């Protein structure tokens, strides 16, 4: 079978056909194509430039720490045996946290305003999320891995912490509280 079996026909009286008129239109089409292509490509380059620039210059990176842990013994692992907030000698604050069905341990976290706070978290069961509502502190907590990231909360206040990854029938009640203490700058 070949193409001739499929009837290829001209546009029935639709106005624009091939021929002279078609060629004129063709030239204009090409011009518009070019303008648009370069414009769109420029926009894409700007986007990429912005992302790469902020990543490189401002060191803005999502939490990407690589450290593993056996989830089946995470609760007794020395790194996570006593969840809570500690002050390090250099003045920064460390929060060790377990995310498990269906609570964060500890459930309430108190950190000082205006100082870098490093969160270290893992899960002894399924995947959870850790999101401090009203901030951009947001990370996945996965069994077998340690999530680590550092944020500074400039303003004192109270924030709801929610689990934002489905973790079972109690997912929608899994929450905690973050209290940022200190005076407003």
Partner 1 sequence: MSADRSGALPTARTTLEPRVGAPAASPSYRLELANLSVAVAAFGVGAAMAVMQALSRANLALPLRSPGVYYLSVTAHGVLMALVFTTFFIMGLGYVVLRAALGRDLVSERLGWISFWVALAGTAAATAAILSGTSSVLYTFYPPLQAHPAFYIGAALLVVGSWGWCVVMVRTYRHWRRDNPGTAIPLPVHGMLATVIIWLLATVGVAAEVVLLLIPWSLGLRETVDPVLARTLFWWFGHPLVYFWLLPAYVVWYSVLPRVAGGRLFSDPLARLAFVLFILFSTPVGLHHQFLDPGIPAGWKLAHTVSTYVILFPSFLTAFTVIASLEVAGRLKGAAGWFDWITKLPWSDPLYSSVALAMLTFAVGGFGGAVNAAYAMNAMVHNTAWVQGHFHLTVGTAAALTFMGTSYWLLPRLTGKELRFKGAAQVQPYLWFAGMVMFGVVNHVTGIMGMPRRLYEASYVGAEAAARWSEWTAISAVGGVVLFVSAMLYIAVMVGTWLWSKPGAAPAIEFAEPLSPLREDRGVWDRLGLWTILAIALVAIAYFYPIGQLLRTERFGSPGFRPF
Instruction: Please list every residue from 37 through 96 that binds partner 1, using CB under 8 A.
Output: 37, 40-41, 43-44, 47-48, 50-52, 54-55, 60-72
38 binds, among Cu ion, partner 1, none (CB under 5 to 8 A by kind): none
Contacting Cu ion within 154-173 (CB under 5 A): 163, 167, 171
131 binds, among Cu ion, partner 1, none (CB under 5 to 8 A by kind): partner 1
Contacting partner 1 within 119-138 (CB under 8 A): 125-127, 129, 131, 133-134, 136-138
CB of 30 to Cu ion, least distance (A): 54
CB of 82 to partner 1, least distance (A): 21
Using CB under 8 A, which of the segments 26-34, 84-92, 111-119 binds partner 1? Answer: 26-34
Contacting Cu ion within 69-128 (CB under 5 A): 128
Is 9 a binding residue for partner 1 by CB under 8 A? The answer is yes
Rounded to 10 degrees, the C-alpha dihedral 109/111/116/117 comes to -20
Is 97 a binding residue for partner 1 by CB under 8 A? The answer is no
128 binds, among partner 1, Cu ion, none (CB under 5 to 8 A by kind): Cu ion
Q: Do the Cβ atoms of 95 and 109 come closer than 8 Å?
A: yes
Provide the b/e sequence for 55-85 (b: ≥16 CB within 10 Å): eeeeeeeebeeeeebebeebeeeeebeebeb
End-to-end alpha-carbon separation of the chain, Å?
A: 80
| Angle at alpha carbon of residue 71, lines to 70 and 75, rounded to 5° | 105
Structure tokens of 13?
């009286």
CB of 153 to partner 1, least distance (A): 14
CA dist., res. 88 & res. 65, Å (int): 19
For residue 97, give the nearest of 141, 42, 36, 34 by alpha carbon.
141
For partner 1, the closer of residues 50 and 87 by Cβ is 50
CB of 98 to Cu ion, least distance (A): 11
Q: Do the Cβ atoms of 103 and 172 come closer than 8 Å?
A: no
């Amino acid at each position: 079978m070949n193409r001739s079996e499929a009837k290829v026909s001209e546009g029935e009286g639709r106005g624009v056909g091939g021929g002279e008129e078609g060629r004129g239109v063709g030239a204009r089409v090409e011009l518009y194509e070019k303008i648009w292509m370069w414009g769109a490509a420029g926009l894409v380059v700007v986007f990429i430039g912005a992302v790469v620039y902020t990543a490189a210059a401002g060191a803005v990176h999502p939490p990407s720490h690589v450290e593993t842990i056996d989830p089946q013994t995470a609760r007794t692992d020395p790194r996570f045996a006593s969840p809570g907030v500690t002050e390090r000698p250099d003045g920064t604050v460390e929060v060790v946290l377990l995310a498990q069905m269906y609570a964060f341990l500890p459930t309430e976290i108190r950190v000082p305003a205006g100082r870098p706070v490093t969160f270290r978290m893992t899960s002894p069961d399924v995947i959870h999320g850790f999101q401090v509502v009203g901030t951009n502190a947001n990370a996945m907590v996965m069994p077998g891995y340690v999530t680590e990231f550092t944020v500074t909360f400039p303003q004192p206040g109270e924030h709801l912490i929610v689990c934002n990854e489905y973790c079972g029938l109690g997912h929608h009640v899994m929450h905690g509280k973050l209290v940022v203490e200190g005076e407003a700058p």
